[in-house]
């Protein structure tokens, strides 16, 4: 049984992530969204919120595109990714590549993960053109300034972002 481990911060998950995960699900026996607990990034959403959004996002994407999501799991992990993947049968790390700008960071991570554990390989899927300009950071930036991002994230994620920024504005006395 082959397993694709799809690690990330998912703050929040976008259609770009979901597109990669479902494509991996047709290539591997199992796909595991692996949310890094100790990501060096400062996240807008809590761990539980991010897990919840991934789960809701998977269910929505599967329904909307009429895809099977029975071989997609969601979990969290602490510590090194190169160690965590060994819990699974025939694991490979999956990452999406959007543009050349992603390459350097991804190249460094793939090599470092293999340096930590020579059994671990990283496979890259090229992001679908329609989502290649998406990132969680840019979505948060647009959401913060009330821009248009409705079709770029699942409806549940859209609601959580909207809530987050509107409640924050209210708390800060801006609304």
* SS3 of residue 117 by DSSP: coil
Instruction: Report the C-alpha gap between 27 and 100 in whole angstroms.
Output: 24
16 binds ligand PNS per the rule CB under 6 A:
no
CA–CA distance, 106 with 122 (Å, rounded to integer): 9
Give me the half-sphere count of Cα atoms (radius 13 Å) on the Cβ side of residue 128: 14
Distances (CA, A) of 160 to 44, 70, 150, 156: 11, 25, 12, 6
The pair of three-digit structure tokens given for residue 5, joined into one six-digit string: 């481990």
Determine if 9 is a binding residue for ligand PNS (CB under 6 A).
Answer: yes
Active site residues: 17, 41, 98, 136
Which one of residues 4, 81, 127, 134 is an interface residue with ligand PNS (CB under 6 A)?
Answer: 81
7 scored as a contact of ligand PNS (CB under 6 A): yes
- Count Cβ atoms below 10 Å from residue 38 Cβ, excluding itself: 8
Check whether 136 is labelled as a binding-site residue. yes
Task: By CB under 6 A, tell whether 39 contacts ligand PNS.
Answer: yes
Closer by beta carbon to ligand PNS, 3 or else 9: 9
Q: Provide the mask over 113-152, with x wherever binding to ligand PNS is found by CB under 6 A and - wherever it is not.
A: x---------------------------------------
Q: How far is the CB of 158 from ligand PNS (least distance, A)?
A: 19
Closest CA to 93 of 157, 6, 27: 6
Q: Which residues bind ligand PNS (CB under 6 A)?
A: 7-9, 36, 39, 41, 80-82, 109, 112-113
């Amino acid at each position: 049984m082959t397993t694709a481990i799809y690690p990330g911060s998912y703050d929040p998950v976008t259609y770009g992530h979901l597109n990669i995960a479902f494509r991996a699900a047709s290539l591997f026996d199992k796909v595991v969204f692996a949310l890094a607990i100790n990501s060096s990034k400062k996240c807008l959403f809590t761990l539980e919120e991010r897990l919840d959004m991934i789960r809701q996002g998977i269910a929505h994407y599967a329904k909307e595109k009429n895809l099977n999501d029975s071989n997609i799991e969601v979990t969290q992990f602490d510590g090194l990714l190169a160690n965590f993947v060994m819990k699974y049968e025939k694991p490979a790390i999956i990452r999406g590549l959007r543009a050349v700008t992603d390459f350097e960071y991804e190249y460094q991570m793939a090599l470092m993960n293999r340096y930590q554990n020579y059994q671990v390989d990283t496979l890259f899927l090229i992001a679908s053109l329609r989502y290649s300009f998406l990132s969680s950071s840019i979505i948060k930036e647009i959401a913060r300034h009330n821009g248009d991002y409705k079709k770029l994230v699942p409806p549940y994620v859209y609601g959580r972002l909207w809530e987050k920024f509107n409640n924050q504005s209210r708390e800060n006395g801006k609304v």
